[in-house]
Structure 1
Amino acid sequence: MRYSHYINVVRLLIFLIIGAVLFLLVNQWIYTREALEGLEIELIQKTPYWQRSHKRELKDWHDVEAMASDAARNGLGEHGKPAYITNLSKRKLDHDLSKKNGFNALLSDMISVNRSLPDIRDQGCQRLKYFADLPTVSIIIPFYNEHFSALVRSVHSIINRTPAELIKEIILVDDFSDVSNLKKPLDEYVEENFPKVEIIRFRKRQGLIAARLAGAVKAVADVLVFMDSHVEVNYNWLPPLLHEIVLNKRTAVCPMIDVIEDATFEYTAQDEGARGAFDWILDYKRLPLLESAKKNRTKPFENPIMAGGLFAISREWFWELDGYDDGLDIWGGEQYELSFKIWMCGGRLLDVPCSRVGHIFRSDNWNGVSEDRKEDYLHKNYKRVAEVWMDDYKNYLYKHARGIYEKLDAGDLTKQLALREKLHCKSFKWFIENVAFDLVKTYPPKGTTDFAYGQVRSVGAPKFCLDTLGRPDYRIVGVKDCEATSIFPSRRQDWSLSEDHDLRMRGEEYCLQTADHKPDSQVLLYDCSYGNKNQLWYYNRRRKWLVYGPKRLFCLEARPASKHVVVNRCRTNFPLMQWDFVHVNDTLLDTYFETMP
């Protein structure tokens, strides 16, 4: 009996020991599994997106709940409707703030930073699905003296209309602002409202390009998204952009840019879309959509040149292209440099119609931003871009602005030229013929085949030459003492009878025109407008007349006493209606009427 009892006790002890061991083993296994899973998650998060395997499942990324909440909102400026200040006592403050900021800053303060927007996408966009597994983004927003409410509204709109799991970080780069509420008040606001936002502050003014580069260096996400500091993103704006980058990591993508009206904050579409381009003074221009893009309003389309303020690009591809040229100063030319690099070095640039972002376009009475630079940084930037990327086409740019680029030192271009060679980038001729194939036809290079150029000297008063009188914008022209250098005078006496059949400041976009076609009409400088019949001029070599207008009834006449010029009915044997061009291309002038626009 007693022996049997001991046996039972021993069995119980063995059972308890085995149970304890099993318990410990199971707990250790669970702990190890959790640790390994945590390590696996951490490794996945640290491994670049394109080095991981991905499922190609599709997902509807719309935040239906947030969209329904927005639909129920009421208030000033909600749903992107125009808003107005009715208090007369605030109108003066409104005017002053608008001149300072380029938009109605007082109204901006009155509109909610979380306001709702109209969904103006094509209806087909609402049905589209995108990859469920998308890369994360670092959103980089440079700012300089941006109005506080416009800046924080930009960030609120991003957070409100972007899937949280896609935002790794938002980096604000302060380019040495001197507005007090962009210092400690902004820091406190960010700390209270935006856990994913970090602010980088410069200790001196460095400009937009340097600010973007600083943000890109700091960024850690798979994709970089560059934005301006006065925007509002629309519904489901990010997944369509990322989807295209996933398909090809050497793709840079731009959203459609909508208009936030500067005076009323009304949110509207800019148009049905266009393709970016440039003219031969490197002003940003637009090309019409191709028929394929018009037929499918939801499909991304190729874009030769980005507008520059809003785009996304994989971090890996951005740095493979060496980012922006760090020799570019302040702003200007960076969108051309990056667009050329993307296309010529093996990538592509797309506009994505189902991604829409509103942008405040500043008013014409904006005072602008003063830049602490003594040198002409804008044309220096253009020259750097032209010397590295535009090959022989750079001469069109230089001939358009003769006398400007010759004096500018573009600086050391060794690194940029080495990059182009290293990446085996294509020629600019390839870019023009294959990417921007309709650019030359739409914006033909000017100043390369002038009918005549140089000083225009009066025969009847030979000491006087046609002169801008130092006022080259919408002002009266006249005659002044001829400068000593006749073929290459200063810009005020340098004229061309251009291939567009206008009489313009040589290599520039100011053309001679009268306000009407009456006798004694004064001659003024206007913006050149290709095909404008009121800007047609012809040089009659035999009579030495500068003949004006499509009917060729009027001629340019000098008035030496008043130093004016006018147009009057053409008269023979009247020296004050006769002019000598320093250089006339006789062969080309023979074809003048064959090439009339």
Structure 2
Amino acid sequence: MSLMRKDIHTQEKQLHQVQQNFSLHSALILNKLDKLDAHLNAVEERSLKMRHEKPAKKLFPNSNLFKQWTVELSEDDQRKAEDLFQKYGYNAFLSDQLPLDRELPDTRDHRCIGREYPKNLPTLSVVLIYLDEALSVIQRAICSIINRTPAHLLKDIILVDDHSTNEDLKTQLHVYVSSINEKHPGLVKTVTHSEQKGLSQARISGWKAASGDVVAILDAHIEVHVKWAEPLLARIQADRTLVLSPVFDKVNYHDLQVTNYFASAHGFDWALWCTYVAFPQKWYDQNDPSQPGKSPSVMGILVVDRLFFGEIGTLDGGMEVYGGENVELGIRVWLCGGSIEIVPCSKIAHIERAHKPYATDLSNVMKRNALRVAEVWMDEYKENVNIAWGLPIQNHGIDIGDVSERKKLRERLKCKPFKWYLENVYPELNLINLLAYGVLINDLQTSLCLDKGPLEENNPILYPCHFMESQIFYYTASGEIFVHPLQSFKNDRSRCLTDPGSGRFPELSWCSDTEKPKHMYWNFKQGQAIQNRETKRCLEISTDQTGKYEKNVFLQDCRNQHWKIQNVIQDV
């Protein structure tokens, strides 16, 4: 009898627990439904109001925002939306209206969805870097991390403010963080720079404040997908020398909808601009796109064992603002004992800005950072970076800062030479046998340079010298003359100077286009004629009836005109 009573009592307790869980679950569902209902009511009220109003005039028809985002807004709302768009580079007006805990489409490969991971994974610190980001975007990033990361694995979230000036990031964000820490004591920490230090230093600050076994360093304009952390933590648990990146889905800057991106490796060209590249062939041979793939570099978001990151030198704090720091990390990790992987089962939705408000032109900073990377890590191949930027190989005149400590780090870690990296990690990075590069100037008119001309046309022209990309030409040992950018990959779509064989005008044709016969090889020596090897015609300039030099350049019988190119590598 006592056993029966005990059994009944146990069943009553279990039933009570089930009822409690059901009540809690029901309350959560009702709360979400209430939020959704309130949002739908607000949208409906707005729609009814606009139905009874005369359609507002389109104030910004040429705006990158309103060209694609075609909702009906009042004139006041259009102004607000455009102002916020110019400020942030994405639709912050819309972001402020969306729920912070909005659902994301599950874009993972079907093999990822049912995959199980160990419970005893390493703990995780998440670092979010921002500079004058929209408040709702940061809040949504935090919310997604808390909701979609197992609580027993999430050690802390570090917010690093690289000297923002937005008042709401000093007041309202503080209130939001305090409300989270009331529920989850100590979960969110803040680091604030007293001056803008740039992306590398901000990431280093976040890493220093982190306490988890693994640190994920992210932009603040992201949302994490469900089960994003477990695949990353499992890989690092298996190999602590890995530096990982999730796959980024694109969040459209205009409507904030998520576009699925498939996994690719992260590479770079000789100017050290990032680009997506193919994985090694053996990744494709597996016929399983859910598997991690080796990558030459990372695009900026990275996940790494916290202690290992310190052992290999974190990031180069001498980098300025933005650009090049991720390539430097990628090269260093591979040369100094680690490796880099892209993990397709981990996905993050990342807002793709229409413009970067903190730096309208990154080229000067990027150029300086690229030269710094080349000086420390690229050995005899560093001249390729100078060439890619159209700079002389010697005495480029750009201050790259003190790199002595980074060179000592390379010695201390006993890192491999860059040649090993090109042969074993990134053979796709093309080595071109150049003889000369830079602007081409005819001696008859030294204020004008050869220029690739309008994008929609394929005829080079003469144009006042400005020494920018459209006027940078390269002359190879095989006799090709092609226009910027430098061919960093074997399948690049660079445009080569060609003689079509008839007519007076030269053309710029795709160098890789072999479908039609071309006369694309030239004889040229510094200070002499540029003559086609097959047609024997020369590239020349001519005056009009008034004696003014024409915009067009011509192919004709050689009349002893002389050209000079800006930088000579080997005697031409």
Interval of TM-score (by shorter of Structure 1 and Structure 2): 0.7 to 0.9
Q: Secondary structure at the match of 1:387?
A: helix
Q: Which of 534, 556, 572 is the matching residue for 2:557?
A: 572
The counterpart of 1:111, out of the listed 91, 98, 114, is 98
CA contact (8 A) 1:546 1:556 kept: no
Report the CA distance shift for 1:126/1:98 in structure 2 as closer, same or farther (over 3 A). Answer: same
Give the count of matched residue pairs. 494
Deviation of residue 545 (structure 1)? 5.6
CA distance in structure 2 between the aligned counterparts of 1:221 and 1:468, rounded to whole angstroms: 56
Q: 1:497 aligns with which of 449, 453, 475?
A: 475
1:140 to 104, 109, 127: 127
1:55 is aligned to none
Give yes or no for contact 1:453–1:497 (8 Å, CA) kept in 2. no
Match status 1:298 vs 2:290: yes
> Match of 1:266?
257
- Contact 1:522/1:566 (CA < 8 Å) preserved in 2? no
Q: 1:143 to 1:468 in 2, by over 3 A?
A: farther
Q: 2:419 aligns with which of 398, 412, 429?
A: 429
Deviation at 1:172, TM superposition (A): 0.4
Other-structure match for 2:3: none
What residue in structure 1 maps to residue 449 of structure 2?
467
Greater shift after overlay, 221-230 or 64-73? Answer: 64-73
**Quick one: structure 1 residues 245 and 582, their matched pair in 2 at CA, closer, same or farther if it must change by over 3 Å?**
closer
How far apart, in 2, do the equivalents of 1:165 and 1:445 lie? 49
Question: Structure 1 residues 517 and 91 mapped into 2: Cα distance closer, same or farther (>3 Å)?
Answer: farther
Cα distance, 1:191–1:529 mapped onto 2, change above 3 Å? farther
Which of residues 214, 234, 240 is equivalent to 1:223?
A: 214
Whether contact under 8 Å (2:247, 2:344) holds in the other structure is: yes
Structure 1 pair 171–66 and aligned structure 2 pair: CA distance change class (3 A):
farther
Structure 1 360/567 Cα, relative in aligned 2: closer, same or farther at 3 Å? same
- For residues 196-275 of structure 1, what are the structure 2 equivalents within 5 Å? 196-270=187-261, 272-275=262-265
Partner of 1:346: 337
Q: For 1:16-165, list aligned pairs within 5 A.
A: 85-89=71-75, 90-165=77-152
CA distance in 1, matches of 2:93, 2:552: 48
Shift of 1:340: 1.5
Rg (Cα) greater in structure: 1
In 2, the alpha carbon distance for the partners of 1:557 and 1:171 equals 61
Per the alignment, residue 391 of structure 1 pairs with 379
Q: Are residues 565 and 496 of structure 1, via their aligned partners in 2, closer, same or farther at CA, if it must alter by over 3 Å? A: farther
Structure 2 residue identity aligned to 1:566: N
Distance in structure 2 (CA, Å) of the matches to 1:253 and 1:115: 26
Unmatched 5+ stretches in structure 2: 1-24, 44-67, 489-493
**Distance in 2 of aligned mates of 1:428 and 1:156:** 42
**AA matched with 2:229:** L
Relative to 1, partners in 2 of residues 1:92 and 1:518: Cα closer, same or farther, differing over 3 Å? farther
Whether the 8 Å CA contact 2:495–2:511 is kept in 1: the answer is: no
Change (3 A) 1:538 1:132: same
CA distance in 2, matches of 1:102, 1:349: 30
Measure how far apart 1:538 and its partner are. 4.5
Instruction: Identify which of 441, 447, 458 aligns with 1:456.
Output: 441
Q: 1:393 to 1:198 in 2, by over 3 A?
A: same
1:509-548: per-residue Cα shift (whole Å, max 9, x none)?
996889x99978799xx9x965368998543669946669
Question: Residues 187, 529 of structure 1: CA spacing in aligned structure 2 closer, same or farther, 3 A cutoff?
Answer: farther
RMSD: 4.5
What is the one-letter code of the residue matched to 1:467? C
Letter aligned with residue 315 of structure 1: R
Q: Specify the alignment match of 1:43 in structure 2.
A: none
In structure 1, what is the Cα distance between the partners aligned to 2:161 and 2:124? 20
3-state SS in 2 of match to 1:168 = strand
**1:402 aligns to 2:394 (yes or no):** no
Which 5+ residue runs of structure 1 have no aligned equivalent? 1-63, 484-488, 590-597
Residue 208 of structure 2: SS of its match in structure 1?
helix
Task: Determine the structure 2 residue equivalent to 1:558.
Answer: 542
The 1:435/1:571 distance shift into structure 2, 3 A limit, reads: closer
**How far 1:494 sits from its partner (Å)?**
6.7
Distance 2:119 2:479 in 1: 53
Instruction: List per-residue Cα deviations over 1:22-58 (Å, max 9, x = no partner).
Output: xxxxxxxxxxxxxxxxxxxxxxxxxxxxxxxxxxxxx
C-alpha distance 424-574 of structure 1, shift in aligned 2 (>3 A): closer
The whole-number CA distance in structure 1 between the counterparts of 2:351 and 2:119 is 32
The code of the aligned residue for 2:449 comes to D
TM-aligned CA distance change 1:134 to 1:390, over 3 Å: same
Q: Which amino acid aligns with 1:369?
A: Y
| 1:417 and 2:407 correspond | yes
SS in 2 for 1:263: coil
**Structure 2 length as normaliser, TM-score?**
0.74
Are residue 288 (structure 1) and residue 275 (structure 2) matched?
A: no
Identity of aligned residues (%): 27
CA distance in 1, matches of 2:239, 2:27: 30
Structure 1 residues 125, 547: closer, same or farther in 2, change over 3 A?
Answer: same
Secondary structure of the equivalent of 2:410? helix
Cα deviation for residue 244 of structure 1 reads 0.3
Describe the shift of the 1:109–1:85 C-alpha distance in structure 2 as closer, same or farther (beyond 3 A): farther
Q: Does 1:326 align with 2:321?
A: no
Go from structure 1 to structure 2 and tell me whether the alpha carbon gap of 1:494 and 1:131 turns closer, same or farther (over 3 Å shift): closer
Shift of 1:107: 1.1
Check whether the contact 2:124–2:155 (CA below 8 A) recurs between aligned residues: yes
